A and B are shown apart, each in its own frame.
Chain A
Amino acid sequence: MRTVRGRRGTGEGDGPGPSGVRRLAARLRGWGGVTAMAAACALTAAAVLLPLAQAAPETGGPPAVRPPASVQVAPDALWGPGDTCENPEASLRPSTVDGPTIERIRSAGKLVAGVDQNSFKWGYRNPDGHLDGFDIALVKAIAKDILGDESKVIYRAIPTSQRIPALQAGRVDVVVRTMTINCKRLEDVAFSTAYFEAGQQVLVPKGSTITGYDASLKGRKICFAAGSTAEAALTSRSYGSVPVTVPNQLDCLVRLQLGEVDGIITDNALAAGQAAQDPSVQLVGSPFTKEFYGVAMNKDATDLVRRVNKVLENYRAGGNDSPWMVAYRAHFEGVLPKAVAPPEPKYRDG
């Protein structure tokens, strides 16, 4: 049951898993999408609620786990990182109590943030040469809360491979860099609550006959980054598409513009960055995986984790005019579907 939950109800994993689970998954699929989803949801709920009910007996106040705000997944093709732990998105409860990490940042006078400078609309250099994007806006909000000034930040542009080493070595205080929360990373770093929900989606030129991650991919050349979730998904179910692998998701847009591929599968958050650089492409179909981005911090900086979660509480608050909604509209208007609400936070105790 635990493994089934870890695999988000499908058992279709790229990682190693008991073959029984796969058989179960196959049978689940055999029942048809709706039944499978229902079964998966039931298992998920049970797996999440049971241990938490034991761990946190106190009642009153908000429920420990809330369902995600908008679960929009393609039936019959649910896909996710092969998580092996329970509820990776759940973070420490928010608090404004200062601890040693906050004290250290205050005395340094600057927040050191690890960001991307290569990811359009998330963390990138705008034509003025300044860092800009949805992630950068969040870094500013954190700096303003802790130091009272959103400009008191030292930005460190770090490559993907350096995110965890930089946190562990204390070179950065926070990493806000489209970083997906998962169990493997939780062994090395701590995450805030989720600040964005992303999923794999299909990006095609406007007017393409491809309608999403479905049978319309048959015979078409589909591009994705090596080692990505998309690669695992297409290996498992290709719908007859011809795979083209590139080192980085942005390389897919180059191939698409040159006419070497017919479509791209990538995380919709990154796809938004691609669509923003080329108005002639669009996202089609619905996301067929679900992953959450979180602010990563040093594992021992529990005071900072709680503080960032508090910042996020405020960031999400305010309905349609919340800072989160404002930043979303500022960066993703026209390239991502209109946001209904930020993802709801999940908390754990201890």
Chain B
Amino acid sequence: MVVTSRAPAPGGGPAAPPAGSPAAAPRRVSAWAEGVDQLRRAAVTEPGRLRIIGAALAAAVLLFGVVTVWEISGRVAAADDVVSRSQPLSADAASIYRSLADADTASSSGFLAGAQEPREVRQRYEKDIANASRLLVSAAANAAAGDSSRKEITLLGEQLPRYTGLIEQARATNRQGLPLGGAYLRYANEQMSTVLLPAAQRLYEAETGRLYTDYDDARSWPLAALAAGVLALAALGWAQRRNYHRTNRVFNHGLVAATGAALVVLLWLAVGQSFARADLNEARTDGQESLKVLNDARIASLQARANENLTLIARGAVLAEDKKSDKYDVDFTTNMKQLDDGLARALRLADDDSGRSPVARAAGGVAQWKQRHAAARESDLKGDYEGALPQVIGDADHKESSGASFDTVDASLEQAVAHEQKEFTRAARGGLGALGGLVTGAAALAVVGAAAALLGIGRRLSEYR
């Protein structure tokens, strides 16, 4: 970088003919070699050098602009995918998962009520199945061929009609008063908990995995753009220093303007990306992670409720692996444990009071549910089935049923999920907003910067005319 020789006088001829000049052979030279040769010849004169420097500076500034536009467009697209594509898909997958679990819970509740199946329970079941079917179709439209999601969607599409068939058979048989209906319902529940729900869970995890990939793409530092920016600024700095040494003029307006433009783009890039990262991080840790924990807790609560119902439907017909306890009661206890753990985690993850309060309400509901369940179970074990049934499903004389506690838990969790979803969208949109205008701004400033650099060098060149 150190300039050692003074510039030769204007209009000075070549100091020496270049070695190996094409004197003898009229050999054809390639265009590239010819260009290099011209350049080499130009480099020995100051205007020639200035032309080269000007071109290089403009190129460096433009390159910075292009790399910035390219990298930031990728990040904006990824952030946009997070907000408007992969997160909704992940939320849809969570909704499929929840609808299926909810359908299973509703079908067992309706079954327990027997021929007097309440209309709203039946409607809830129908809504769940319709919701799951509808979301499966849209999930299928969004899944690429060979995607792992596609496999799960196919499996769910095949198994869901089979499940609903079993449920209808169970209802029809139950209405005739045949114990076989209970066996059909248990078979349907087994299909749900061993085939459908695991597939829905895998789908949810695959979609959430894709969401996290989009996150990482949106959050990663635009290293190439930053490097190009530093390079462009360094080149501009060098050219100005060289200029100062040659002319004793401190400022070349064109070059200063180019430097300013490059600096603005670099700062904008660094600050914008930092803000976007901060917002996306918040969306992920405060929104998405909470959503995942809450969704899992909700599934656990639904399965616990289905198992509580099935304990009364199976009436001890199926034993757990220890060959002593009731299978469904053991499963209920397991689900309640998962629910407890999930709520404790959700409470830790919740970052504000409006996030904490529904979770705390759900936890209160769970405690009450456990108490009421224990009381109902005790009646059932004592042989008072007719006493235990209203304690679980509730009726006019039993408002304080375990079913009412479950409803509290379910409603609170729904609220908590809605809150976290809102948090997520707000933070993710913020992240997307932080990158807003950067692409256009960087492109415009790069063009301005490159032009300014050329003008600045042109100003110097004109001194040689």
User: A-side interface residues toward B, CB under 8 Å?
Assistant: 112, 114, 117-120, 124-127, 155-162, 166, 171-172, 227, 247-248, 250-251, 253-254, 273-274, 277-278
Instruction: Please tell me if the beta carbons of B384 and A118 are within 8 angstroms of each other in the complex.
Output: no
Q: Does B180 sit at the interface, judged by CB under 8 A?
A: yes
Tell me the minimal C-beta distance from B137 to chain A in angstroms. Answer: 27
Chain B window 312-325, contacts with chain A (Cβ cutoff 8 Å), 1 for yes, 0 for no: 00111111000111
User: B-side interface residues toward A, CB under 8 Å?
Assistant: 173, 176-180, 182-184, 186-187, 314-319, 323-327, 381-385
Contacts of A250 in B (CB 8 A): 179-180, 182-183, 317
Contacts of A124 in B (CB 8 A): 179
Cβ contacts A to B, 16 pairs, < 8 Å: A112-B383, A118-B314, A120-B178, A120-B179, A156-B382, A156-B385, A162-B316, A247-B317, A248-B317, A250-B180, A251-B183, A251-B186, A253-B180, A277-B173, A277-B178, A277-B179
Contacts A161-B316, A161-B324, A253-B183; A156 near B383 (Cβ below 8 A): yes
Q: Which 10 A-B pairs have the closest CB atoms?
A: A159-B316, A156-B383, A127-B177, A157-B385, A247-B318, A250-B183, A248-B317, A277-B180, A277-B178, A254-B183
Tell me the minimal C-beta distance from A280 to chain B in angstroms. Answer: 13
Instruction: Please tell me if the beta carbons of B323 and A227 are within 8 angstroms of each other in the complex.
Output: yes
Contacts of B187 in A (CB 8 A): 251, 254
- Measured CB to CB, the nearest residue on chain B to A169 is B382
Tell me the minimal C-beta distance from A108 to chain B in angstroms. Answer: 15
Cα distance A119–B327 when bound, in Å?
18
Contacts of A251 in B (CB 8 A): 183, 186-187
Cα distance A112–B382 when bound, in Å?
11
Instruction: Please tell me if the beta carbons of B317 and A278 are within 8 angstroms of each other in the complex.
Output: no
Contacts of B315 in A (CB 8 A): 117-118, 157, 159
Instruction: Please tell me if the beta carbons of B179 and A119 are within 8 angstroms of each other in the complex.
Output: yes
Tell me the minimal C-beta distance from A12 to chain B in angstroms. Answer: 23
Tell me the minimal C-beta distance from B330 to chain A in angstroms. Answer: 12
Contacts of A227 in B (CB 8 A): 323
- Measured CB to CB, the nearest residue on chain A to B165 is A258
Instruction: Please tell me if the beta carbons of B179 and A118 are within 8 angstroms of each other in the complex.
Output: yes
Given contacts A118-B179, A157-B315, A278-B180, 18 further A-B contacts (CB under 8 A): A117-B385, A118-B314, A120-B179, A127-B177, A155-B383, A158-B316, A158-B383, A161-B324, A162-B383, A171-B382, A171-B383, A247-B186, A247-B327, A250-B180, A250-B182, A253-B183, A254-B183, A277-B173
Which of A159, A251, A253 is most buried by chain B, counting CB atoms within 10 A of its CB? A159
Tell me the minimal C-beta distance from A232 to chain B in angstroms. Answer: 15
Instruction: Please tell me if the beta carbons of A166 and B383 are within 8 angstroms of each other in the complex.
Output: yes
Instruction: Please tell me if the beta carbons of A247 and B383 are within 8 angstroms of each other in the complex.
Output: no
Cα distance A305–B130 when bound, in Å?
58
Tell me the minimal C-beta distance from A185 to chain B in angstroms. Answer: 15
